[in-house]
C-alpha cells in the first residue's frame, strides 16, 4: 500500500519548539513524515526525489518523543522509506542450509566424487 508509506529522517541539529505546532528535535532523533502529507501539503509542487532534500517545513512524528508536529526540513537528513502497514510475517525457515564448504555432503560432493576428484 503505497499511500501509507512514510519517509524517515534523522535530525542533524537541535531545534527548540518556537510555536504551538512545532516539535523539538535533538540530534539523532528519527522522524517519520507520511508520503500522503508530502503530496498533499499546501504550496508544495512535489516532485519525486524532493523528499531527499527537504527545504521547507515538514510535518511528522518524532519517534523518540512520539510528538507530532512541524519541524524544519533543513535540520534533518533523509534516511529512507519507512513501510507502514502490517508487520512482515516471520519467515518459516524451510530453506535447506547449504553444505559446509569443503565437505562431501549433498549434490556437490556426489558430483566431485563422480568426476574422480
Q: Please, what CATH class does the domain formed by 2-82 belong to? A: mainly beta
Q: Where are the domains of the chain?
A: 2-82
Burial profile 1-19: b = 16 or more Cβ within 10 angstroms, e = fewer? eeeeebbbbbbeeebeeee
Name the pTM for this structure: 0.65
Q: Cell numbers at residue 24, please?
A: 523539538
Are the beta carbons of 13 and 39 closer than 8 angstroms? Answer: no
pLDDT single digits (tens) 13-44 = 999 999 999 999 999 999 999 988 887 766 66
Other CB atoms closer than 10 Å to residue 62's CB: what's the count?
20
Amino acid at each position: 500500500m503505497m499511500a501509507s508509506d512514510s519517509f524517515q529522517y534523522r535530525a542533524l541539529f537541535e531545534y527548540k519548539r518556537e510555536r504551538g505546532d512545532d516539535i523539538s528535535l535533538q540530534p539523532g532523533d528519527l522522524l517519520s513524515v507520511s508520503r500522503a502529507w508530502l503530496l498533499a501539503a499546501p504550496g508544495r509542487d512535489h516532485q519525486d526525489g524532493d523528499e531527499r532534500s527537504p527545504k521547507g517545513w515538514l510535518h511528522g512524528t518524532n519517534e523518540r518523543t512520539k510528538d507530532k508536529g512541524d519541524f524544519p526540513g533543513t535540520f534533518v537528513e533523509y534516511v529512507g522509506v519507512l513501510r507502514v502497514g502490517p508487520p512482515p510475517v516471520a519467515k518459516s525457515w524451510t530453506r535447506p542450509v547449504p553444505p559446509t564448504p569443503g565437505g562431501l555432503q549433498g549434490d556437490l560432493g556426489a558430483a566431485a566424487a563422480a568426476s574422480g576428484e
